[in-house]
Amino acid sequence: DQASLDPKIVSLWEKCAVNENNDKENFQRSFVRHVTTTLARSVYNIDNFSAYQATAHTVRDQLIKQWNETQQSHTEADPKRVYYLSLEFLLGRSLDNALLNLGLKENFGEGVKDLGFRMEDVLDEEVDAALGNGGLGRLAACYMDSLASLDYPAWGYGLRYTYGIFQQRLNDGYQVEFPDYWLNFDNPWELPRLDVTVDVQFGGSVNKYTDEDGRVRHVWEGNDVIKAVAYDVPIPGYGTKNCINIRLWSSKPKRQFDLGRFNAGEYEQAVQEQMQAENITAVLYPNDNHMVGKELRLKQQYFWVAASLHDIVRRFIKTGKPWSKFPDQVAIQLNDTHPTLAIVELQRILVDLEGLKWDEAWDIVTRTFAFTNHTILPEAMEKWPVPMVAYLLPRHMQIIFDVNLFFLQKVEKLFPDDRDLLAKLSIIEEATPQFVRMAHLAIVGSHQVNGVAELHSNLIKTTIFKDFVKFYGSEKFTNVTNGITPRRWLHQANPKLGDLITEVLGSKNWLKDLSSLNQLEKFADDKEFKKQWVTVKRSNKVRLAEYIKTHTGVVVNPNALFDIQVKRIHEYKRQFMNILSVIHRYNSLKKMSSEERCDVVKRVIIFGGKAAPGYYIAKLVIKLINSVAEVVNKDESIDDTLKVVFIPDYNVSVAEIIIPASDISQHISTAGTEASGTSNMKFVLNGGLILGTVDGANIEIHEEIGDDNIFMFGNLADQVEDLRHAHRYRNVPIDPALQEVINDIESGHFGDSRIFSPLINTLTIGKDYYLISDDFGSYLSAQNLVDEAYKNQDDWTRKSILCTARMGKFSSDRAIKEYANRIWNAKPCST
Ligand code: F55
């Protein structure tokens, strides 16, 4: 409370709040101060890591100031807040991003250099914050950057995992996983709020009593209480003072060590309970697009949701507004079904704790929440056994049954006698045991449901959620096509291209308004500009070639066509089809004379990505890629026309090196399976062309950049069902080119073929569920078109420029404005 402060303190604070001059000298003073005090080191002993830490702490000081000012001004203005609930925030590194967003890069860069360090080396010391699996987690991070940059009063809520996504190493071509203990050294990007805690309970029972008004009230008495401790991660906007917050919860035992039990000789049990509490936020589940029904995962979800909602509700109560105003003050976005329990928790708070009537509470709840779906793959749909939910969260299970009852009563009223429809819409799946269908709960408890690209949003209305459209009408379902932040994915990852664009457009305005890149179109035939464009791409390819040499030992030629597929390894993403086509290419090259090979476009085919540790087939794909690479890379008879590389441990900071260096990237999922994809956007924004299927956001990228600048192939989403049916019930002959490749693998050309038979079997016994055979022919034709197009370097450069110029739509700023205007009804609030 500012008014009650000592005026002396206020005046000092105001002085502090005015940003000091962030020039080189001030930076260096702060750098040295942090080395000698924060790091307790001698100035005679500063290595790159200490230089990183001292720089980071200097930036952190700035962040904290802006963060404080932002929170202060939001408290005063009290606008409608946006809360983004995500179990994953795949932030990557923070230093370079903060330097660029705060506009400190130049001065601090000079300051660092002046002290004898190279900024690249200093930045390279930072470990990634890898609290996510892939697209969904990185999307959350891009959205936080846009929310901050556009001055929205937003908060992210997540978990502070002790271990992020595992580190991937290769052993004999196989993936092996290592723990990602990212907090090994201190983390300057978080502010521990050891005083901000929430008690979260589990288990126990529900007792009923009748209150003075004769109403039956429920009291949940848990038998296990765990403490959530807040850690705040400031997110600075670009070109604004707005600095928002991601609050990550860490689990701690409620009772510090129980001395009585220790004395009673129950030492082990006392310690064990302590450890179990800390277990909750210990590790990120490493599965993407796959549901694993582990009890600990459900505990993570409730722990996170309960702590976050408590925080949100507490902030609302402080304003003194009545509950009816809650949906005008609070918008909560559910990033997939993982936070769906928040719907139930808010209803519980309002009814059980605050004494609201059921209907009044439910109206508040449904006007507060909105839900984003990220997949239609059946194996990814979250469902939890009713007995598990009832045991861990007895009151929530009752509320879910009640929500379902009232919902189904409404359905029945509108569709009398349609028993079938009731079963299909029910939040409860009637199996043994019963299951809670989280997507159904999320739809019923939200006012809007969105998919993440046009095709995907249409598909959810016609497939997985079609019965809900029958009941609610289609207005409840909408599309918000994903976006990416141009700050990290161009400005930061590709500084040379960023500078070139800024120079030719005459300002950095494109970083705030990405559609202004369209002014690049007029330079697509400008000789001088094209030359510079090519120089930038070439230098990014050299940078990647060096990285590849260091991390795999393979030497690649930067003049070759760089063909890249980096993303989580999954059957639906079809890295298998890619490597099969590589074998086809290799065999064709071997059949050629050396004169014929002279005319061939040299290619470096680059893979990267992690497989879920328990996903056997995905791990075999990695092994196959490495086995093929080993044979191809040492075969001198093909004159360097082909190299194959698997880059280990793909993550955000590796992506920042890979993406700017691509000529072609592949986004080749079976049509209808990739909800959106976001790396496709990153590649094209950086002037890389794409080879892709008619799926996800590829379709909208195609619409924007035009037919001439993209290579599309394969069957369409609406053909998939029939094709699968054919595989199942008829004898569909395998594509002949594909058969040849299979024979080649089976001949032992790439090592013991028995290793790969489970993989080959997916095409035969497995009925080729992802339609590799059906798409193989058109895939190879598209590959040939790529080769032909690359021969005309001048035209390729023109295509590359037009790609970048036409990517304005895919800024996460555009996506966030759509959410704000169409879903949250939230306005910017500048500090
Ligand atoms: C992680 C855990 C579970 Cl239990 C389920 C899914 C995931 C996950 O990582 N999903 C994911 O990344 N989905 C992707 O979301 C992106 C952002 O919307 C899409 O672009 C992409 O198509 C989709 O697969």
Looking at residue 300, its amino acid is Q
**φ/ψ (deg, to 5) at 506:** 80, 5
CA distance 58 to 26: 10
In testing the pocket of ligand 1, which one of 86, 142, 285, 289 has its CB within 8 Å of the most ligand atoms?
289
Burial of 499 (0-12, 13-18, 19+ CB in 10 A): middle
Active-site residue set: 374, 567-568, 573, 678, 682
- Average of per-residue pLDDT values in the chain: 97
The tens digit of pLDDT for each residue in 394-403 reads 999 999 999 9
For atom 2 of ligand 1, the residue with the nearest CA is 288
The answer on 338 and 318 residing in a single domain is yes
Q: Are 247 and 191 in contact (CB under 8 A)?
A: no
**pLDDT on residue 18:** 52
Q: Are 613 and 766 in contact (CB under 8 A)?
A: no
Within its chain, how far is the Cα of 53 from the centroid?
26
For atom 8 of ligand 1, the residue with the nearest CA is 288
Please calculate the CA angle 674-678-679 and round it to the nearest 5 degrees: 105
Cα 477 to averaged position of ligand 1 atoms, centre (Å): 19
For atom 5 of ligand 1, the residue with the nearest CA is 289
| Residue 371 binned pLDDT confidence (cut-offs 50, 70, 90) | very high
Q: What is the ipTM of this complex?
A: 0.99
Please calculate the CA angle 548-552-555 and round it to the nearest 5 degrees: 55
User: Which of 190, 218, 216 shows the shortest CA–CA distance to 206?
Assistant: 218
| Residue 267 binned pLDDT confidence (cut-offs 50, 70, 90) | confident
pLDDT beyond 90 at 498: yes
For atom 20 of ligand 1, the residue with the nearest CA is 677
Is 762 part of a structural domain of the chain? no
In testing the pocket of ligand 1, which one of 139, 285, 288, 676 has its CB within 8 Å of the most ligand atoms?
288
Please provide the distance, in angstroms rounded to a whole number, between the alpha carbons at the two ends of the chain: 18
The answer on 405 and 544 residing in a single domain is no
Over range 497-509, report the average pLDDT.
98
The tens digit of pLDDT for each residue in 140-173 reads 999 999 999 999 999 999 999 999 999 999 999 9
The answer on 395 and 358 residing in a single domain is yes
The answer on 82 and 147 residing in a single domain is yes
Cα 675 to averaged position of ligand 1 atoms, centre (Å): 8
Q: Locate the ligand 1 atom nearest the alpha carbon of residue 380 and give its number.
A: 5
User: Which of 82, 194, 197, 182 shows the shortest CA–CA distance to 131?
Assistant: 182
Is 182 part of a structural domain of the chain? yes
- Spatial neighbors of 160 by CB under 8 A, at least 6 apart, are 131, 190, 231, 248, 249, 250, 281
For atom 13 of ligand 1, the residue with the nearest CA is 136
CA distance 336 to 764: 34
In this structure, are strands 81-85 and 330-335 parallel, antiparallel, or unpaired? parallel
For atom 4 of ligand 1, the residue with the nearest CA is 291
Q: Which domain holds residue 361?
A: 78-93+128-481+818-824
* Ligand 1, CB within 6 Å, residue ranges: 133-136, 139, 287-289, 291, 374-375, 380, 452, 482, 674-678, 696
Is 40 part of a structural domain of the chain? no
Q: Are 69 and 241 in contact (CB under 8 A)?
A: yes
Looking at residue 57, its amino acid is H
pLDDT beyond 80 at 299: yes
User: Which of 301, 370, 312 shows the shortest CA–CA distance to 339?
Assistant: 301
| Residue 79 binned pLDDT confidence (cut-offs 50, 70, 90) | very high
The answer on 497 and 470 residing in a single domain is no
In testing the pocket of ligand 1, which one of 90, 372, 375 has its CB within 8 Å of the most ligand atoms?
375
Domain count, the chain: 2
**pLDDT on residue 797:** 98
Percent of the chain with pLDDT over 70: 98
The answer on 317 and 177 residing in a single domain is yes
Is 585 part of a structural domain of the chain? yes
The tens digit of pLDDT for each residue in 444-464 reads 999 999 999 999 999 999 999
**pLDDT on residue 19:** 53
Is 664 part of a structural domain of the chain? yes
Cα 184 to averaged position of ligand 1 atoms, centre (Å): 28
Structural tokens at position 101? 């967003």
The answer on 343 and 450 residing in a single domain is yes
State the number of CA atoms in the 13 A half-sphere of 273 facing the CB. 17
CA distance 264 to 339: 40
Can you say whether the dihedral through the CA atoms of 412, 414, 420, 422 is positive or negative?
Answer: negative
The tens digit of pLDDT for each residue in 736-751 reads 999 999 999 999 999 9
Q: Locate the ligand 1 atom nearest the alpha carbon of residue 338 and give its number.
A: 4
Cα 208 to averaged position of ligand 1 atoms, centre (Å): 41
The tens digit of pLDDT for each residue in 565-610 reads 999 999 999 999 999 999 999 999 999 999 999 999 999 999 999 9
pLDDT beyond 60 at 532: yes
* CATH number of domain containing 236: 3.40.50.2000
Cα 337 to averaged position of ligand 1 atoms, centre (Å): 11
The answer on 281 and 166 residing in a single domain is yes
Over range 98-124, report the average pLDDT.
98
The answer on 263 and 236 residing in a single domain is yes
The answer on 205 and 348 residing in a single domain is yes
Burial of 543 (0-12, 13-18, 19+ CB in 10 A): middle
**φ/ψ (deg, to 5) at 268:** -60, -45
pTM: 0.98
Report the interhelical angle of 394-414 vs 358-368 (nearest 10°).
90
Q: Are 288 and 568 in contact (CB under 8 A)?
A: yes
3-state secondary structure of 750: coil
Looking at residue 168, its amino acid is Q
Q: Locate the ligand 1 atom nearest the alpha carbon of residue 285 and give its number.
A: 2
**pLDDT on residue 263:** 76
Alpha carbon separation from 154 to 146, 151, 167, 478, 765 (Å, rounded): 10, 8, 31, 22, 50
- Maximum pairwise Cα distance, the chain: 95
Is 69 part of a structural domain of the chain? no
Over range 37-50, report the average pLDDT.
96
Over range 314-340, report the average pLDDT.
98
**pLDDT on residue 416:** 97
The tens digit of pLDDT for each residue in 180-212 reads 999 999 999 999 999 999 999 999 999 999 999
Within its chain, how far is the Cα of 302 from the centroid?
21
**pLDDT on residue 668:** 99
For atom 9 of ligand 1, the residue with the nearest CA is 288
Cα 363 to averaged position of ligand 1 atoms, centre (Å): 30
**pLDDT on residue 3:** 53
CA distance 763 to 621: 13
Q: Are 305 and 341 in contact (CB under 8 A)?
A: yes
In testing the pocket of ligand 1, which one of 89, 374, 699, 818 has its CB within 8 Å of the most ligand atoms?
374
CA distance 184 to 173: 28
Over range 72-83, report the average pLDDT.
97
One DSSP character per residue, 387-413 reads HHHHHH-HHHHHHHHHHHHHHHHHHHH
For atom 1 of ligand 1, the residue with the nearest CA is 288
Q: Determine which helix (DSSP H) or strand (DSSP E) holds 158, and give its type and residue range.
A: strand 154-159
Over range 484-513, report the average pLDDT.
98
Percent of the chain with pLDDT over 90: 94
The answer on 466 and 579 residing in a single domain is no
Is 14 part of a structural domain of the chain? no
Residue 29: other Cβ atoms inside 10 A: 12
**pLDDT on residue 831:** 86
- Spatial neighbors of 21 by CB under 8 A, at least 6 apart, are none
Q: Locate the ligand 1 atom nearest the alpha carbon of residue 482 and give its number.
A: 18
Cα 138 to averaged position of ligand 1 atoms, centre (Å): 9
Q: Are 306 and 345 in contact (CB under 8 A)?
A: yes
The answer on 264 and 373 residing in a single domain is yes
Is 700 part of a structural domain of the chain? yes
